[in-house]
Amino acid sequence: QKEVEQDPGPLSVPEGAIVSLNCTYSNSAFQYFMWYRQYSRKGPELLMYTYSSGNKEDGRFTAQVDKSSKYISLFIRDSQPSDSATYLCAMSPDNYGQNFVFGPGTRLSVLP
Amino acid sequence: DVKVTQSSRYLVKRTGEKVFLECVQDMDHENMFWYRQDPGLGLRLIYFSYDVKMKEKGDIPEGYSVSREKKERFSLILESASTNQTSMYLCASSTGTPNPYEQYFGPGTRLTVT
């Protein structure tokens, strides 16, 4: 079993749809949870982050962490064609900024 | 504006060649990383460095070495390139506390070994 699992997609949705992206993990030591967005031919960029369990909202994006189920989600409301990218979840057990484990990424296409 | 730069966007090398990939960051970060990214496998850590001249093996260090002689520069070396090292290589840097969430990535080097 991989430490972090993520459906690779591709996921295609019409503009305006609500998108749900998910990751599961096996290591209960993870405390820091991140979502990175990677556009084609670019490096990943941090999109959202949460510490421990709970929800966090930033504009059209909501990140949720359920540590009891070892499950994290990213919701995108009113999706736009500019949201088309690969979304990678990432997790870390500590605050050293070193021990990141990335999911394989989900490729999302938002169709106009 | 924070920046991580990589020496080449695209590189084509022959089997057996020694390959150098260079990465420079301008944020005075302690930590620097080399990943490779392959479809379906995601980002896999090759090596990271937490200080000048210090390095730690990641998940897939075989066939690679690294060098960090200055804080801002981290080099990845393929001692004898092989076709299974054809991949996208991404460099990243981070500072940890007070920002433990973010690694800053370069644009990547797409390496093809023929």
Q: What is the pLDDT of residues B25-61, one digit of tens each?
A: 999 999 999 999 998 888 999 999 999 999 999 999 9
Q: What does the DSSP assignment read for chain B? A: ---EEES-SEEEE-TT--EEEEEEESS--SEEEEEEEETTTEEEEEEEEEETTEEEE-S--TTEEEEEEETTEEEEEESS--GGG-EEEEEEEE-BTTBTT--EE---EEEEE-
Which tens digit of pLDDT belongs to each residue from B70-107? 999 999 999 999 999 999 999 999 987 788 788 999 99
Q: In the structure encoding, which two tokens stand for residue B52, read together?
A: 């000048």
Do B105 and A43 make contact, defined as CB atoms within 8 angstroms?
A: yes
Provide the sign of the torsion angle of the four alpha carbons B96, B99, B100, B102, taken in this order: negative
Backbone angles phi, psi at A28, to 5 degrees: -70, -10
Question: Distance between CA B83 and CA B35 in Å, rounded?
Answer: 17
For chain A of 112 residues, list the mean pLDDT of each consecutive stretch of 10: 84 97 95 95 93 91 95 97 97 86 94 96
**Smallest Cα distance from B70 to chain A, Å:** 19
Chain B residue with Cα closest to A104: B42
What value does the mean pLDDT of chain B take?
94
Pick the residue of B33, B101, B102 with the most A CBs within 10 A to test the interface with A by mutation. B101
| pLDDT value at residue B45 | 94
- Best of B34, B43, B59 to substitute, by most chain A Cβ atoms within 10 angstroms, is B43
How far is residue B83's CA from residue B89's CA, in Å, rounded to a whole number?
Answer: 14
Rounded to whole angstroms, the Cα distance separating A38 from A53 reads 24
> A102 vs B43: CB contact, 8 Å cut-off?
yes
- The whole-number average pLDDT for the span B13-33 is 96
* Residue A107 token pair: 């490729």
Length of chain B counted residue by residue = 114
Choose among B100, B64, B56, B110: nearest CA to A30: B100
- Chain A residues in contact with chain B using a Cβ-Cβ cutoff of 8 Å: 6, 8, 32, 34, 41-46, 49, 88, 92, 94-98, 100, 102-105
Q: Could you give the count of Cα atoms lying within 13 Å of B86 in the half-sphere of its Cβ?
A: 9
B2: pLDDT strictly greater than 70: no
